[in-house]
Amino acid sequence: MRTISTTDARKRLSEIVEKVKATGRPIAIGRRNKPEVMIVRMSNYNPELSDVTNLNMAGGAFDFLWDEPDLYSDKDLKWRYGKKTT
């Protein structure tokens, strides 16, 4: 991952945002070549979820679940977690 200085980021922020949007590759911003923050593309932001969950989705943390079989139905989950259905 590429790390750029805060001074460089301040001068080229618009260009950096466009590059991240186009490539999907994050860019770190920091001091003394040490990453402090990261700019990542948020293509599927869901306001109903927490920021951490949205970042995990953007980073692909949940991608492995696509290959997992559905073990429980919606009805099972609603019953288990308090929204009992009849």
Give per-residue pLDDT as tens, 43-83.
788 899 898 888 888 777 888 888 877 777 878 878 877 75
Fold of 2-80: YefM-like fold (3.40.1620)
More confident residue, 38 or 78: 38
pLDDT-derived band at 85, boundaries 50, 70, 90: low
Helix (H) or strand (E) run with residue 28 in it: strand 27-31
Q: What one-letter code names the amino acid at 60?
A: G
Helix (H) or strand (E) run with residue 5 in it: strand 2-5
The helix, strand and coil proportions of the chain, stated in percent and rounded to the nearest 5, come to 45, 15, 35
DSSP single-letter state for residue 66: G
d(CA 74, CA 42): 28
